[in-house]
Structure 1
């Protein structure tokens, strides 16, 4: 196998910004919208046969695919170099075109509304339309949130400004260069590189890493800019909540996730009730590290002074061995990803921080990483390839129901991480196992408990602004610290005052996708349930698991999981997962006593 560690976008898309095929693709967007409008305006509201619905979806899916190709390519280019002004300009031009195209297609939602709930639900029950059942059910459920055509036009037009604001935050953050002195040498790093030092075995390096991040984000200029950007985004969200008549501030997200408000409330309540587990973990870790005081920069620290490095080749080997043991199709698709120039592996200046997987109906998956040689980077590789494989397995669904809601979209990624963890665990010495358990618990608290802390912060901010309060970065700093303390208690010492607590401004999801983060918590809890089933059933479980992934967005999460024996409306579903976390904490506490 020959590893390809850079994207080859030319192979899959276009040769560059001036490629005539790209320009032609962009030029075709408005004519495609016009053609669709000419065929269907005034017709959708008269649909009376399943054949008409099938033809409509076929045409809509074809149009959407052709419209989206150029945008996908440009977004990938920007991920590789967020400072490329030519790409930024072209994306801005494309966004304007999409706003105009969307305005031409506003009649669609209006005519579905005129067709009416009862007729749409009758179509959803028609045997010929079962491939589109969930799309139809979701359309029917969303009718009550659709405004008049004129109102939708106004909201669509103003979305241009919101896109600029969201882009400003990402462009600003990716332009930052972080200064740090290591071993007497001054270095300039990307945010991804500086963040990776938070897991350094050297305590002073960890402290400097946090200090470098804060120096950049705590400047008055950054705080004023990011504070106003965030307040603007929240005001836009809350105005939509009011205009569309949602019952709660989180309901737009819950609706898109196809989760009932009560289910999300239960998730938050059960996790928040279990917050004391985090303080227990921190206290045990403090004792194992022989620290008098446990600081915020110690939370992600390893226990020992020796940090094992993992090259990308090492990580690839571990991931592939794990997938080979689990399922041949998972293994084969990982090989395909690694050999086909669809993984961009290493940090570069200007490259988007973090990691993601991207995929769509009829399209190959792409993965972006920022591998810096940590064990966590190996987990990230498995996580993103899990996403990519999920996208591959869902290809059997119609485009309208291809994408899983975020509440299920994290399933394959987190499950792949858990498989990898068990693979690594079997190869460890006693001392290495202590480190492994520490890291596993750190990740578990980060992906369940901390994500709920993020949501609790967002909820407070959104509800305050919804009721008319004017908030600034000073308020965000204070609220963030209060939610931190709610989770950690007195177990962690924070090294800046609440007035200077700017960590919220480093979380991209609260800007780009409000309330997104509970998907990580839900996904982790679901994976605990799935993994327990796998341990009991072994190989017979694998096909059932793949059936869940193959379903894409064709079923509501509650219904899909119920078919496989999981009741997400029951507190027991969440408590069972939290009990698994507590078992790991008890085991970790036992290490203090040498058990």
Structure 2
């Protein structure tokens, strides 16, 4: 029986080197104590941000605190992510989270006090001191928030309430990653294998339909057992979003979430409407899948299986790295050398182990290189995940290297552009270099799955979030029964009449951690559409487009996301990028059918 390895059984070369953040935990403690002292210093400015010099000093001190506190938290949380059952790092993460709450509380007076200054006087203060000009974009953006910033005392209360607000998400994380165990199933060879978050997708792509069905049922039967608890955490999370939106005088929790990126509610709604108008393309893909798999009935557990089942190539991690390096050559030597540095310097935590956080992510802190968490299984999808997460990491690297701390952190709205652009370039390379017709068909199928998963599926998630927040805002209860029903109905709408929408899928919402980052997932779809456009420019225009793209990567949050993308040639205030992306999907479906 195949069982999950403990952390200690994984070779060091496949583990990230968090010692690059803190060589030892005494240094972590030193920064922790130093931050505590800096908090005592910053509160001395309360009531005194009325001169250019004091404004500059408080902003510089705020940056210093922010840099150190984020470094403290990132280290602790990534240590916990290595093994969520480790009590030492559970405690360290809690300590770091409490410090962040203290930071928010201690610095909560800054924004209200700056906004209490007459806008014209504030601009004169900026112009009157050369060193302050670096903060002009930050301060202008702060002024935009003026209607939604509360008094100093009210901001302090909200900051201190954050630890309560985040408890719902923490409960979800512990239940989902640490406490919940899935049953064993029989793999293709008849061996008993423990189902995990990490191997679930691999089983869902299995050629053996019995394995797919068993994995699907084992996964969602387990979620069904805990569904009332998950409904409680979801409802609590939605109530948190609504509380903050109302308190800050937004019209809705959706508006509150989008405001930070300076994105209108219309952009979100137009995305859903545009995808609804192109559901016929997804339905066509579902019909094609049913036909090619030779099934009388296509079920939800058949969605992930490749259409070309005979092609089942596995990749070692080293082979995957080489493919990524070759596929991203159009981005130039500088980019490729940075990738190599990341792979060779242990930026990446590669394999799944017991207790490790599921999925994949890229994370970094200002002043240190970025990191990537993987749960590598050797499938083609895992190769693309490496390209994806390293796209995030190099976006972080370029931004941190170019921007001051205040602008280094790029908005989530643009975060998926760099990652998905990497995937599109890798796909182009693999398609151009494929000598095997089955391989080419398989790659096209993989690209189809990107469209299905990154545009249609994420927009379905986005619509689910919108629906349940609107229900809660109307005072309707979010029970397990209600959440299951809404999610089931959306699956029927999106996937059409040529698939059996199994009852188990109604529990899938409970395993989506992104729902605890409200109104986040729609950015996958907008980012994917923008990335397709940018990757085409890079392939068609070469170095000129690469330089434009690198300027985008270096921009951080020095301008609003939609403006940054417009400079790169993409306008997401219109339906065009999404429609153009789905035109590519439709065109590739035509090519696929001709090859069969």
Q: TM-score, normalised by structure 1?
A: 0.93
Instruction: Map residues 545-564 of structure 1 onto 2, 5 A cutoff.
Output: 545-564=549-568
* Greater alpha carbon shift after TM alignment, 434-443 vs 146-155: 146-155
Distance 1:116 1:406, change over 3 A: farther
Q: Aligned equivalents of 1:126 and 1:558: distance in 2? A: 30
Distance 1:216 1:518, change over 3 A: same
Cα distance between partner residues in 2 of 1:535 and 1:59: 44
Write the distance in 1 (CA, Å) between the matches of 2:497 and 2:125. 56
How far residue 117 of structure 1 moved from its aligned partner, in angstroms, is 4.2
Is 1:207 matched up with 2:207? no
Matched, 1:404 2:407: no
- 1:38-78 CA distance string (max 9 Å, x none): 1x22222x14x4x6554443322122222332211101101
Which residue in 1 is equivalent to 2:245? 241
Asked if 1 retains the 8 angstrom alpha-carbon contact of 2:230 and 2:510, the reply is yes
Moved more, 457-466 or 249-258: 249-258
| Partner deviation per Cα, 1:513-541 (whole Å, 9 max, x = no partner) | 01100111110010122123223312221
Cα shift readout 1:460-488 (whole Å, capped 9, x = no counterpart): 11111111112211110000011111211
Give per-residue Cα distances to partners, 1:385-426, cap 9 Å, x unaligned.
Answer: 111111111121111111111111111110111111111112
Distance, in Å, in 2 between the alignment partners of 1:418 and 1:348 is: 30
Alignment match, 1:33: 39
Q: Displacement, 1:154?
A: 2.6
C-alpha distance in 2, partners of 1:510/1:194? 19
Q: Which residue of 2 aligns with 1:57?
A: 59
Q: Does the 8 Å CA contact 1:132/1:398 hold for their aligned counterparts?
A: no
The SS at the match of 2:363 is strand
Consecutive unaligned residues of structure 1, counting only runs of 5 or more, are none
Give the alignment partner of residue 315 of structure 1, picking from 290, 311, 320. 320
Contact 2:42-2:106 at 8 Å conserved across structures? no
Q: CA deviation at 1:125?
A: 8.0
Counterpart in the other structure of 1:110: 112
Q: Please state if 1:583 is matched with 2:587.
A: yes
Q: What residue is the counterpart of 1:376 in the other structure?
A: 381
Q: 1:569 aligns with which of 566, 573, 588?
A: 573
Counterpart mapping for 1:15-30 below 5 A: 15=24, 19-30=25-36
What is the count of residue pairs matched by the alignment?
579
Q: Assess, with a 3 A threshold, how the Cα gap between structure 1 residues 292 and 78 changes in structure 2: closer, same or farther.
A: same
Give the distance between the partners of 1:367 and 1:5, measured in 2 at CA: 11
Q: Name which of 173, 176, 179 aligns with 2:176.
A: 173
The change in CA–CA distance for 1:572 and 1:102 in structure 2 (over 3 A counts) is closer
Alignment-derived partner of residue 18 in structure 2? 9
- Is 271-280 or 21-30 further displaced after alignment? 21-30
Q: Cα gap change, 1:403/1:376 in structure 2, threshold over 3 Å: closer, same or farther?
A: same
Please say if 1:333 is aligned against 2:338. Answer: yes
Does structure 2 retain, via aligned residues, the 8 Å contact 1:394–1:551?
yes
Q: 1:441 aligns with which of 436, 444, 448?
A: 448
Deviation at 1:3, TM superposition (A): 10
CA contact (8 A) 2:534 2:568 kept: no
When residues 194 and 153 of structure 1 are mapped into structure 2, their CA distance, relative to the original with a 3 A threshold, is: same
SS in 2 for 1:410: helix
TM alignment of 1:282-361, pairs within 5 A:
282-303=286-307, 304-361=309-366
Which one of 144, 151, 168 corresponds to residue 141 of structure 1? Answer: 144
* More off after superposition, 122-131 vs 150-159: 122-131
